[in-house]
């Protein structure tokens, strides 16, 4: 471990491990097989990169995407580490040279795709290269319960056995309990040592709202981050193209990204996003795990994500530098019904459909919850948390009210319509809207018709989904078209249990007095003690607060970023490969005058100091007089 600490400082420029890393590294150095589930920013990659630097032998790193391999190899090489990637994006000559280097045992880390490991000549090559560690990045891809299952990952255990006696290290940021169990079953011949860190990303602000004017809602978010990079996710290629075009016409530097684009254009758009600031990528989920840009300041979902895990994975691409970032998810009833239909009509086995439906319900609960977003999100991963004060609910932007009477009206409507109608019809029924369907079924003659004119149909639809997400109403597993009241729902119907619901629209202008509840009642709801966690989590505290920069420091930071962009363009690589924003911010704050001063900044190791130190010291010195 002392050698590892020395290498941490000598190579990466950090004086200490991040919380959670040391415990995992001790197990790795002890020869244990490892499954580590850690949030983005907690330093998962270092758990196999640092041992590869300190120990002899070759570490094989399995990565799902070429773009992800390329960026990680670039960063390692920038730190002076012998790393390479074998993949189809290399020329034949490049791959031949890498293979020759492997035979000479030149490399410490080799990144490969799972398909490369299936080639019959690969095990012998890697065995001759001294392979002794098998690291699986994005390990959730091996699980059929995961949101991003890759069938080719199922062959990894066999590939590892073919190479020889390898230590296994699997890491991911996204894996709930069923996914973790599946990873262990598919990868490990014996039970690994398991580390599950907190899923919390405290630097992310979470917000969710129903669609009203999606393009305008997204424009307003982008306007709050003018000149900054962001990602907007859409559920269709057509939607991504249309929204990208609309944003471009509005003056936003927006580029589409989806699987329907030609490979060369898709790659060009990704490179533009990675290398420059102020670019907004409007993408389908094809814009996935290969993205490791640290200074993404916002992630927006123009449509409901596929699942709770997919949502977490996608917002996880914001704020990887640890600085504050914003997320916004837009959703509608149509999104929910579409996703439910996709699950029901899909070809997956019934047990997988049940898991997918459970995860969708967890996502709907998050969208419709009257409780702290972060608390609800973490609960979906089995983790308890207190209110975060960094979400739209904790900001006090939503009306919260005693929902017992509203819930009783919805349940009465379900009962009087034999449970055969969904939220749209019931919303019209309660609000007193005489639609053609209401007349055809004679529902305008029911006592419940017009019994809920205090809300519009959209408000009743929201309440319906809140009841569903809270497991107060459910669909009959034998008859998906029939709704019924659960035991908890019947308790609310009888007035035996309390219920708090969230209103239809956010309060304008942020925190205001709630007309239907006192502020004291709302505060009690937000600060109530959380339920005990379903399993033990080791919290990982991540600081996301930085001291505000002065005007002069901001001007210096702008010049440092301009120089970084200039160097990155000369070297034809993303700017963050040179230095992360956090490093430049610290430069602007302390204004180092010597190389020794600069090396004291976390993240500047000897290799980067030798390459870039004089360049950035010159920027600081040259602006001394006018700042």
Range 381-405 average pLDDT = 87
Range 353-378 average pLDDT = 84
- Which residue has 């107060």 as its token pair? 472
DSSP 346: S
Note the helical H segments in 30-91. 46-54, 66-78
Q: What is the pLDDT of residue 624?
A: 61
Q: Show the tokens assigned to 358.
A: 């459970």
Question: Which residues does residue 131 pair with via DSSP β-bridges, in sequence order?
Answer: 58
Write out pLDDT tens, residues 183-196: 999 999 888 999 98
* Contact indicator for 15, 7 with CB cutoff of 8 Å: no
Q: What is the pLDDT of residue 288?
A: 62
Q: How many CB atoms lie within 10 A of CB 56?
A: 9
Q: What is the pLDDT of residue 239?
A: 94
Q: At 59, phi and psi to the nearest 5? A: -100, 120
pLDDT > 90? residue 380: no
Q: What is the pLDDT of residue 286?
A: 67
pLDDT band at 505 (very low <50, low <70, confident <90, very high): low
Write out pLDDT tens, residues 137-186: 989 889 877 667 888 889 999 999 999 889 999 999 878 888 899 999 99
The mean of the pLDDT values for the chain is: 85
Q: What is the pLDDT of residue 480?
A: 61
* Contact indicator for 327, 206 with CB cutoff of 8 Å: yes
pLDDT > 50? residue 538: no
pLDDT band at 217 (very low <50, low <70, confident <90, very high): very high
Range 355-380 average pLDDT = 84
Q: What is the pLDDT of residue 272?
A: 86
pLDDT band at 80 (very low <50, low <70, confident <90, very high): confident
Question: Which residues does residue 619 pair with via DSSP β-bridges, in sequence order?
Answer: none
DSSP 445: G
pLDDT > 60? residue 531: no
Cα–Cα distance, 1 to 47 (Å, whole number): 12
Q: What is the pLDDT of residue 291?
A: 67
In a 13 Å sphere around the CA of 546, the CA atoms on its Cβ side amount to: 17
pLDDT band at 506 (very low <50, low <70, confident <90, very high): low
DSSP 531: P
Range 257-273 average pLDDT = 87
Q: What is the pLDDT of residue 350?
A: 80
Domains of the chain: 2-196 (3.40.50.300), 204-380 (3.40.50.300), 398-521 (1.10.10.10), 551-622 (1.10.150.80)
**The most confident of 125-139, 382-396, 502-516, 573-587, by mean pLDDT:** 125-139
The more confidently predicted of residues 378 and 327 is 327
pLDDT > 60? residue 202: yes
Range 592-599 average pLDDT = 89
Q: What is the DSSP string of 356-413?
A: HHHHHHHHHHHHH-SS-HHHHHHHHTT------S-BTTTTT-EEEEE-HHHHHHHHHH
pLDDT > 50? residue 535: no
DSSP 614: H
Q: Show the tokens assigned to 308.
A: 């709770």
pLDDT > 50? residue 519: no
Q: What is the pLDDT of residue 546?
A: 54
Q: What is the pLDDT of residue 165?
A: 85
In a 13 Å sphere around the CA of 45, the CA atoms on its Cβ side amount to: 16
Cα–Cα distance, 557 to 507 (Å, whole number): 37
- Which residue has 């419709």 as its token pair? 368
pLDDT > 70? residue 512: no
Write out pLDDT tens, residues 545-577: 456 788 888 889 889 988 988 888 888 877 878
Nearest to 177, CA basis, from 46, 47, 308: 308
| Residue 362 backbone zone (phi > 0: left; psi -120 to 50: alpha; other: beta) | alpha
pLDDT band at 539 (very low <50, low <70, confident <90, very high): very low
Cα–Cα distance, 129 to 108 (Å, whole number): 10
DSSP 552: H
Write out pLDDT tens, residues 297-348: 999 999 999 888 889 989 988 998 888 999 999 999 889 888 888 888 888 7
Burial of 162 (0-12, 13-18, 19+ CB in 10 A): middle
pLDDT band at 289 (very low <50, low <70, confident <90, very high): low
Range 272-293 average pLDDT = 80
């Amino acid at each position: 471990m002392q050698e590892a600490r020395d290498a941490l400082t000598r190579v990466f420029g950090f004086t200490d491990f991040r919380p959670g890393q040391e415990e995992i590294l001790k197990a790795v150095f002890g020869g244990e097989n490892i499954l580590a589930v850690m949030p983005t920013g907690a330093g998962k990659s270092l758990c196999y990169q640092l041992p590869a630097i300190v120990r002899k032998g070759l570490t094989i790193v399995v990565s799902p995407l070429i773009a992800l391999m390329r960026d990680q190899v670039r960063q390692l090489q920038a730190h002076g580490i012998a790393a390479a990637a074998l993949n189809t994006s290399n020329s034949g000559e490049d791959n031949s040279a890498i293979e020759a280097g492997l035979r000479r045992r030149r490399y410490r880390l080799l990144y490969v795709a799972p398909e490369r490991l299936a080639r019959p000549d690969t095990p012998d090559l890697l065995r001759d290269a001294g392979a002794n560690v098998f690291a699986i990045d994005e390990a959730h891809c091996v699980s059929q319960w995961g949101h991003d299952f890759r069938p080719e990952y199922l062959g990894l255990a066999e590939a590892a056995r073919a190479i020889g006696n390898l230590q296994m290290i699997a890491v991911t940021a996204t894996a709930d309990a069923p996914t973790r169990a599946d990873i262990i079953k598919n990868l490990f011949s014996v039970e690994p040592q398991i580390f599950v860190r907190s899923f919390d990303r405290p630097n992310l602000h979470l917000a969710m709202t129903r669609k009203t004017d999606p393009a305008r809602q997204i424009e307003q978010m982008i306007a709050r981050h003018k000149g900054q990079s962001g990602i907007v996710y859409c559920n269709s290629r057509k939607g991504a193209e249309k929204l990208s075009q609309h944003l471009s016409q509005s003056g936003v530097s927006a580029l589409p990204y989806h699987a329907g684009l030609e490979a060369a254009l898709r790659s060009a758009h990704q490179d533009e996003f990675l290398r420059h600031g102020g670019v907004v990528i409007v993408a389908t989920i094809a814009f996935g795990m290969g993205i490791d840009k640290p200074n993404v300041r916002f992630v927006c979902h123009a449509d409901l994500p596929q699942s709770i895990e997919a949502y977490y994975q996608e917002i996880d691409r914001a704020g990887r530098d640890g600085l504050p970032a914003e997320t916004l998810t837009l959703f509608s009833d149509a999104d929910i019904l579409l996703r439910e239909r996709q699950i029901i009509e899909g070809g997956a086995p019934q047990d997988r459909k049940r898991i997918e439906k459970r995860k969708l319900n967890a996502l709907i609960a998050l969208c419709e919850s009257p409780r702290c977003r972060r608390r609800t999100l973490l609960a979906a991963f089995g983790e308890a948390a207190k209110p975060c004060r960094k979400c739209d609910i904790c900001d006090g932007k939503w009306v919260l009210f005693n929902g017992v009477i509203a819930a009783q009206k919805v349940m009465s409507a379900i009962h009087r319509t034999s449970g055969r109608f969904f939220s749209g019809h019931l919303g019209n029924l309660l609000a007193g809207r005489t639609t053609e369907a209401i007349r055809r079924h004679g529902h305008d003659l029911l006592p419940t018709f017009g019994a809920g004119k205090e809300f519009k149909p959209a408000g009743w639809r929201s309440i319906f989904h809140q009841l569903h997400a809270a497991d107060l109403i459910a669909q009959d597993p034998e008859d998906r078209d029939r709704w019924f009241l659960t035991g908890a729902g019947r308790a609310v119907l009888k007035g035996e249990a309390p219920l708090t619901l969230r209103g239809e629209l956010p309060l304008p202008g942020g925190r205001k007095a709630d007309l239907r509840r006192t502020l004291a009642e709302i505060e009690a709801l937000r600060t109530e003690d959380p339920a005990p966690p379903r399993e033990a989590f080791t919290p990982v505290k991540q600081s996301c607060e930085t001291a505000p920069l002065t005007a002069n420091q901001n001007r210096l930071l702008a010049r440092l970023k301009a120089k970084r962009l200039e160097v990155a363009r000369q070297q034809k690589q993303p700017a963050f490969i040179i230095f992360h924003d956090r490093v430049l911010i610290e430069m602007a704050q302390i204004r180092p005058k010597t190389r020794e001063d600069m090396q004291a900044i976390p993240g500047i190791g000897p290799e980067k100091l030798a390459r870039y130190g004089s360049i950035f010291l010159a920027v600081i010195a040259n602006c001394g007089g006018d700042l």
